[in-house]
Chain A
Amino acid sequence: MQRPAESRPIQSPAESRQPPAASPVIEVRGLEVSFPSPSERTGERVLKAADDVSFALRPGEVLGLVGESGCGKSVTALSLLGLVPPPGRITGGSAVFEGADLLALPESTLQGIRGARISMIFQEPMTALNPVFTIGEQVAEVLRAHRRMDRARAWRGAVEALARVGIADAATRARAYPHEISGGMRQRAMIAMALACGPDVLIADEPTTALDVIVQAQIVDLLLEVQSATGLAVLFISHDLGVISEVADRVMVMYAGRLVEEAPAEALFSGPLHPYTRGLIDTLPGGAPGDATRRRLPAIPGTVPDLRALPQGCRFAERCPLAEDACRAAEPPLQEGADGRRVACFMAGPSFKAEP
């Protein structure tokens, strides 16, 4: 990676809600996930779905990860559990969890961590649950695998886990198949499954995207409730900045496989440093219905670049209103300012802050 000759200092935002620095639960450094991309003219080429991704997930926080579809959010999350779908491969970096590098652990050790210490819930609870097993069985199975419980105890544990996520009459509902319950209930069952073993980390990959707005709010509330009750760390992935603003303590913004900005949630929403983040925030509908400030929602022009043919320099330059020659010449590194915020933009200095 090319570094610019000189990088501008990052202006500290007005306020910053930095939590006291505890040692992170998971510390990711330089994560790189590659997919082979066959092309008939150039032969085998490799695209990097996640490129030099580094971040720390601290205990008890909700860390938001936001970005457009295909920017590498899910692949980043899946790589932490060793679940990158083939032919994708982790080609670099480390992810330290309790002193061990998750990316280098053998499959058998990872199996003991998945679902027990680090759990994951997915976007579409209809397809993420196995249609031929009852939800009780699917929760109980986790307890049997990790806690070595016998069938009867695991079933009781499953019913308790379902009750804890607000499923009424859990003993009866546990015998229901996924198609017999509502979407919100299914996502609750997914959450019960993920939390059954009391994990330290929950990765929530677009957990509300497939749900209608009211159920979405209920699931968000449930996750926040569980999080504050158990103090687990949550990596909350969404393309929906609105949901992220409700749940996250800190937010990371990803673009075309790279992190472009990271900041405490309030600071990010009140003073985004990266023009892409700013663009995303501008696309949020603001104001109540009938509010005079309502306007036609802007869009960020252009599309995400093809990961197989990335431009030289900044990946966002083509769509960026502030791009200069320097941006097209070299890729801006993700740099940490004095306030702990990180941003990857040459323009994120005083000149950018001056923009309205």
Chain B
Amino acid sequence: MSRYLLDRVVQSAIVLALMSFAIYALIGLMPGDPIDLMISADPKMTSEDAARLRALYGLDKPIIERYGNWLQAALGGDFGYSRMHAKPVLDVLVPALGNTAVLLGLSFVLSIAVALPLGVAAARRPYSRTDYAINLFAFAGISVPPFWLALLLIILFAVILGILPAGGVPAVGDGGFWEGARYLVLPVATLTIASIGGHTRYVRAAMLETLRQDYIQTARAKGLDQDLVVYKHALRNALIPVVTIVALNFGYLFSGALITETIFAYPGMGKLIFDAIMANDFNLALIALLFAALLTLLGNLLADIAYAALDPRISYR
């Protein structure tokens, strides 16, 4: 197991290194660089000034060389400076990461907490009214675009009812825990509703498949309670495929957060990445995107570990 983990960590490091180059190259290919921004901001700047600045920042060198310089600095722990925020990149990144973790964590837990019983209930009586109702709800959830849902929620709860803030976070020192929680309700609700449908469908499909298995009949023939049969014998097996899909979907959840955070002006990773790219804040965008990649890799690793924990037939040696 530890050998397997080590292998996976090394693999992830390699993927991360490749990702860093890909992201670096893609950002380098984007039209415009920080100097262009300076030119547009300062009409007195001449093209000689711009060339001089480019040379100063190393922007005139080939991309491979620039990447090499960046990598060297990054490996030494220097991730550069965010131009937009005028702070070291990590100082900007860490609070945003914390905010996103709260947002994603809450909506993920809520989504699973709702999807599990719904999926199980649908699978227990396939093609019943309950099943159709749950499916309708699930497909509605899948079909509604998160950005549209977010706008509707804002209109209803912030504009018409006026009981929840439309976005942002409380000002520093303003209100305690509950005030902060009020700002989380709408973004968490948006992300939760956007992922519940998919999760419910996965749970339902996996449960339907599992409930057909012979060992379910055995469990019933043993005289076990129906709920025990479903929640112990069936669910444990059904979770194995569900864990995979859900973990692999972690990346989607992250990109969903990007849109949701932008709409709600929520200071998380999604908004950070978006703003950094729009402002040509290369250093920040690069590291933020790399963190997103890292989180996805971590999700996959966790899925593999959860696999082994759920299924004794899988062992990593």
A binds B: yes
Q: Which residues of the other chain, B, contact A165 by a CB distance below 8 angstroms?
A: none
Question: What does the 1/0 interface line of B216-238 toward A look like (CB < 8 Å)?
Answer: 01111111111010000100110
Interface residues in B195-249 (C-beta closer than 8 Å to A) = 213-215, 217-226, 228, 233, 236-237
Known pairs A131-B312, A132-B311; A141 contacts B236 (CB<8 A): no
**A132 in contact with B236 (CB, 8 Å):** yes
**A132 in contact with B222 (CB, 8 Å):** no
**A120 in contact with B221 (CB, 8 Å):** yes
- Chain B interface, >50% SS class: helix
The listed residue with most A CB atoms (<10 A of its CB), out of B218, B221, B226, is: B221
- Give Cα distance in the complex from A146 to B223, angstroms: 8
From B222, B223, B226, B311, give the contact of A131 (CB < 8 A): B311
Known pairs A131-B312, A131-B313, A132-B310; A141 contacts B215 (CB<8 A): no
- Give Cα distance in the complex from A85 to B214, angstroms: 11
A220 contacts the other chain (CB 8 A): no
- Give Cα distance in the complex from A127 to B233, angstroms: 13
The listed residue with most A CB atoms (<10 A of its CB), out of B213, B215, B311, is: B215
- Give Cα distance in the complex from A110 to B220, angstroms: 10
Q: Which residues of the other chain, B, contact A132 by a CB distance below 8 angstroms?
A: 236-237, 310-312
Q: Which residues of the other chain, A, contact B219 by a CB distance below 8 angstroms?
A: 130
**B221 in contact with A83 (CB, 8 Å):** yes
**A114 in contact with B222 (CB, 8 Å):** yes
Interface size class of B (residues with CB under 8 A): 20 to 34
- Give Cα distance in the complex from A177 to B215, angstroms: 14
Q: Which residues of the other chain, A, contact B217 by a CB distance below 8 angstroms?
A: 83, 85, 122, 128
B234 CB to closest chain A CB (Å) equals 9
Known pairs A107-B226, A177-B313, A179-B313; A131 contacts B215 (CB<8 A): yes
Known pairs A177-B312, A177-B313, A179-B313; A130 contacts B218 (CB<8 A): yes
Q: Which residues of the other chain, B, contact A129 by a CB distance below 8 angstroms?
A: 215, 218
**A128 in contact with B218 (CB, 8 Å):** yes
- Chain A interface, >50% SS class: mixed
Known pairs A177-B312, A177-B313, A179-B313; A128 contacts B222 (CB<8 A): no
B222 CB to closest chain A CB (Å) equals 4
**A122 in contact with B214 (CB, 8 Å):** yes
**B312 in contact with A145 (CB, 8 Å):** no
Q: Which residues of the other chain, A, contact B312 by a CB distance below 8 angstroms?
A: 131-132, 134, 177, 179
- Give Cα distance in the complex from A146 to B215, angstroms: 19
B171 CB to closest chain A CB (Å) equals 51
- Give Cα distance in the complex from A80 to B225, angstroms: 18
**A119 in contact with B221 (CB, 8 Å):** yes
A81 contacts the other chain (CB 8 A): yes
Known pairs A83-B217, A122-B218; A141 contacts B224 (CB<8 A): yes
**B213 in contact with A127 (CB, 8 Å):** yes
- Give Cα distance in the complex from A110 to B222, angstroms: 10
B-side interface residues toward A, CB under 8 Å? Answer: 213-215, 217-226, 228, 233, 236-237, 310-313
A-side interface residues toward B, CB under 8 Å? Answer: 81, 83, 85, 107, 110-116, 119-120, 122, 124, 127-134, 141-142, 145-146, 177, 179, 190, 193
The 5 closest A-B pairs by CB, nearest first: A115-B223, A114-B223, A115-B222, A127-B214, A130-B215
A-B contact pairs, 20 of them (CB 8 A): A83-B220, A83-B221, A85-B217, A111-B224, A111-B225, A113-B223, A119-B222, A130-B215, A130-B218, A130-B233, A131-B311, A131-B313, A132-B311, A133-B233, A141-B224, A142-B224, A145-B223, A145-B224, A179-B312, A179-B313
With A131-B312, A132-B237, A193-B218 already in contact, 5 other A-B pairs whose C-beta atoms are closer than 8 Å: A83-B217, A85-B217, A115-B221, A119-B222, A130-B219
